[in-house]
Amino acid sequence: MSKRSFKKYLNELPQEELRMQLLDLYERFPEVKTYYDFIFNPKEDRLVQEAKTKISNEYFPLKRKRPKARRSVAQKLIKQFITLGMEPSLIADVMCFNLEIGQTFTMNRNAPDSFYKSMGNSFAQMTQFVSQNGLFGEFKERIVTFYQQTQNENWPYGEEFSKALDILD
C-alpha cells in the first residue's frame, strides 16, 4: 500500500474505528508499545542508564562467569534510540560508553581480531553520528582519549580508527 493510499484510507475511517486499530497495534506489536511509551513518558536518562547497564553486563557480567562481549547488544539499543528520536547527545553518550567499556575489557584480556574490527566499525559509526549532529565539541575529549589509547595499545586495524577520525576534520 502506498503512503497516498494509506492516507486516503485513514481519512475515510470513522474516528472510533481508527482508535480501535491503534489500540490493536499497541497491544499486538511491542515496537508500537515501546514507541508510545516513549512518546508519552520519555525518561531518556533512565533509558540511557539501563542501556549502559546492559552494555556493561556484556563485558563484565554480574551473574555469569564468562563475558559475551557482543557488540550487537549495544548496536540494537543505539538503533532503537535513533528510531525513537531520542536526544542525539544521549545517543552519542551511549556510543562512546560502548567503546570505552570495550576498551576497558581488552586491557585485561586477549580479544580476537574480529572484536577489534567490530570496535572499529562502532568507532566509525560514532564519529559519523557525532559529525552529523554537530556534537564534536561536546565529545571531543572522549573521542581523542579513546583513539589515543587504541594507538598506545597497538590495536589491530589502527588505520580504520584513523580513517574514522578523519571524518571529524
CA dist 156 and 43 (Å) reads 38
Q: Who contacts 115 (Cβ-Cβ below 8 Å, separation ≥6)?
A: 69, 71, 102, 106
Cell 564519529 identifies what position? 127
Average pLDDT, the chain: 91
State the pTM of this model.
0.84
pLDDT digits (tens, 9 = 90+) for 3-41: 999 899 989 999 999 999 999 999 999 989 888 888 888
